[in-house]
Amino acid sequence: MREAVTYGTVLELFVTERAAHRHPDLIEASSAPVSLITERAAAGLSETATPQGIVAVCTTLGCPAAEALRGTRLVAVLAGVSDPGNAGTVIRVADAAGAGAVVFAGDAVDPHNGKCVRASTGSVFHLPLGVERDPHRAVAACRQAGLQVLAADADSGRDLDDIIDAGSLAAPTAWLFGNEVHGMDRDVLAAADYAVAIPLYGRAESLNLATAAAICLYASARAHRRRPAAGAIT
């Protein structure tokens, strides 16, 4: 809620009397109209088992992919990612890694899904969320924004360690992440510049989507921030 009030555009706040006493700073920080509601009404408005007693009505978050991608150097593209918890966690990871945007492409979950918003822990209000129903147009928009397009794929990709060692992640990059169960559509995978696989050094069979996204995004973030060694020619 604090992130919504601080970074989002709040149209109206609904609060219980108890929440109003508990969070006076949030109410004072918002210029939106405030309506007092009962605990029962708050429970009806909330999707959680233990509602906080304060609900904000905000403007929508999604925008066209091309708009979200302006001026970005690192982007996560959720290509058909349907689980709202995973999507929200990737938004949180992208925000933490300093990405400029997250794009929802194809049959991806709605970024306004309550579970997605909660899993992002407020990061949905920190960076642009692009929406593009056609994943190929999303890839094209990334290229038009000057980004190389890499697809995270455990089955067909080049080793991430090799990509890092080659210095390929220093370039502005859009990472494609596919559906949690079915993976990425083969035609979308083929549209990427190349696929990248995260090496598994132990005996784990695979990584979940959010973990894989964190590894890939932070590898790019480090490459973008890495300073030349002393005496290196730049």
3-state secondary structure 74-88: EEEEEECCCCHHHHH
pTM score, two decimals? 0.83
Domain 62-225 belongs in CATH node 3.40.50.720 = no
**Beta-strand relationship, 129-132 and 158-159:** unpaired
pLDDT mean across residues, the chain: 88
- Give residue-wise pLDDT tens across range 78-107: 999 999 999 999 999 999 999 999 999 999
- Give residue-wise pLDDT tens across range 17-55: 888 888 787 777 777 788 888 888 877 777 666 677 777
Give strand pairing partners of 195: 151
Report the C-alpha gap between 18 and 68 in whole angstroms: 38
Report the C-alpha gap between 117 and 55 in whole angstroms: 13
Q: Is the pLDDT of residue 163 over 90?
A: yes
Q: Is the pLDDT of residue 149 over 70?
A: yes
Q: Could you tell me which residue, 201 or 28, shows the higher pLDDT?
A: 201
Percent of the chain with pLDDT over 70: 91
Maximum average pLDDT range among 40-54, 108-122, 130-144: 130-144
- Listed range (67-71, 121-125, 182-186) with the worst mean pLDDT: 182-186
Q: Is the pLDDT of residue 121 over 60?
A: yes
The dihedral through the CA atoms of 45, 49, 50, 52 has a sign that is negative
Q: What are the structural domain ranges in the chain?
A: 2-58, 62-225
Q: Is the pLDDT of residue 232 over 80?
A: no
